[in-house]
Amino acid sequence: MRISLITGANKGIGFEVARQLGGLGEQKVLVGARNEERGRKAAAALRAEGVDAAYVHVDVTDAAGLERAAKRMEREYGRLDALVNNAGIAILDWNLRPGRVPLDVVRRTYETNVVGVIAVTDAMLPLLRRSAAGRIVNVSSRLGSLTVTSDLASPVSRVNLLAYNSSKAALNAVTVAYAKELAETPIKVNSVNPGFCDTDMASDLIAAMGAGRGVRTPAEGARAAVTAATLPDDGPTGSFFGDEGPVPW
């Protein structure tokens, strides 16, 4: 049985990743969430569907809490086979030009989307090293692609979110750094692009850009993360891809 932890798994893409991984069978899915009530409710909903799921308290901005979670997982499972860093925030500053975005917005975004991912990864890495086929999946975005966002012919380039876009670009750099560090181990580290999904995080942006235009479901957005979490031994590492293929850095 594989043990998988998904952060931010109480709703949206994270919940769908947990559901799809659990549906593969021979999977223990750990629903990481900072809100205990919502996390337990999500885990119960998954169990009602036949998924072997349990709640784990995970607040990516709480280092001490992450250590407690890792110790609990060590006691109960002994290892971790897949970590899906899905938790993230988007403080939608799209009405503000980059030069007018409050620095507090940038700091808060990076604290979750970049520093939080590093904190979770570092806390869980000893457990991942015990796996015969460890996988680290960072849920990124095309908005973190410098190639895509600098292409003025791409509609994506119109979404000029200073804090969010740059945090996902930084997350991609984090992916490359860990992939290089772990290149001589069985652990694979990749970024994935879920696409533009209809989630709570994206609701305001969807309304601004035109509801329904190119919007994917959370279930569709989860597919790339599930693929990356279950890559075979000859799968890629240090890559950025969606379910439609590679995404340029």
- In this predicted model, what pLDDT tens digit does every residue of 10-42 receive, in sequence order? 999 999 999 999 999 999 999 999 999 999 999
Query: How many domains, the chain?
Result: 1
- Residue 150: CATH number of its domain: 3.40.50.720
- What DSSP string runs through 143-204? GG-HHHHT-TTSGGGG---HHHHHHHHHHHHHHHHHHHHTTTSS-EEEEE---SB-STTTHH
Selected catalytic residue, list 168, 178, 180, 188: 168
- In this predicted model, what pLDDT tens digit does every residue of 176-199 receive, in sequence order? 999 999 999 999 999 999 987 665
Domain that holds residue 96: 2-246
Active site residue 168: yes
What's the pLDDT score for residue 93?
A: 63
Selected catalytic residue, list 164, 178, 180, 188: 164
